[in-house]
């Protein structure tokens, strides 16, 4: 279990971040227009930066692990980058079509982070009990 502790922490981070992101994206639709635009721009810049960081760390760290874990990290980071880029672009536009597309991508991002984090836990052996069975 201790040899997978880094993977467990990363997967739990993915799950927690996806929940926070889902709440933030839902909250963005419920506030006033000016506050939403400013907060949305900052959050999307954070999503973009985090996606780039996760992509860099994932390609260096997770490439030594199994291909399934590497692909989970890759898909999650690509969706983070895509959400950040589309969100920044949508905040600069006046058309509602970009916000609709952004909400779809943000939904896929949240789902990919939840599923990716759970798969990283399962594939990393966090739920393995074979070492405890006599």
In tens digits, the chain (134 residues) has pLDDT values of 556 777 777 777 887 777 777 777 666 555 566 566 677 778 888 888 888 888 888 788 776 777 887 888 888 888 888 888 888 888 777 777 888 888 888 888 888 888 888 888 888 776 665 555 55
Q: How many angstroms separate the CA atoms of 52 and 66, rounded?
A: 21
pTM above threshold 0.75: no
- In degrees, rounded to 5, the angle at the alpha carbon of residue 81 between the alpha carbons of residues 58 and 87 is 160
| pLDDT recorded at residue 128 | 61
Q: Which residues, other chains included, contact 132 with Cβ-Cβ below 8 Å and sequence gap of 6+?
A: none
Whether residue 127 contacts residue 29, with contact meaning beta carbons closer than 8 Å, is answered with no
In the chain, where the domains are located: 2-123
| pLDDT recorded at residue 2 | 58
| pLDDT recorded at residue 133 | 56
């Amino acid at each position: 279990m201790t040899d997978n502790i880094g993977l467990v922490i990363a997967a739990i981070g993915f799950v927690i971040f996806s929940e926070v992101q889902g709440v933030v994206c839902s909250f963005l639709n419920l506030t006033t227009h000016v506050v939403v635009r400013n907060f949305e721009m900052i959050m999307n810049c954070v999503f973009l930066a985090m996606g780039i960081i996760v992509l860099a760390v994932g390609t260096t760290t997770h490439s030594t692990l199994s291909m399934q874990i590497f692909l989970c990290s890759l898909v999650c980071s690509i969706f983070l980058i895509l959400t950040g880029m589309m969100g920044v672009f949508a905040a600069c536009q006046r058309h509602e079509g970009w916000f609709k597309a952004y909400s779809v991508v943000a939904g896929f991002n949240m789902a990919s982070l939840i599923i990716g984090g759970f798969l990283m836990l399962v594939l990393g052996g966090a739920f393995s009990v074979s070492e405890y069975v006599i």
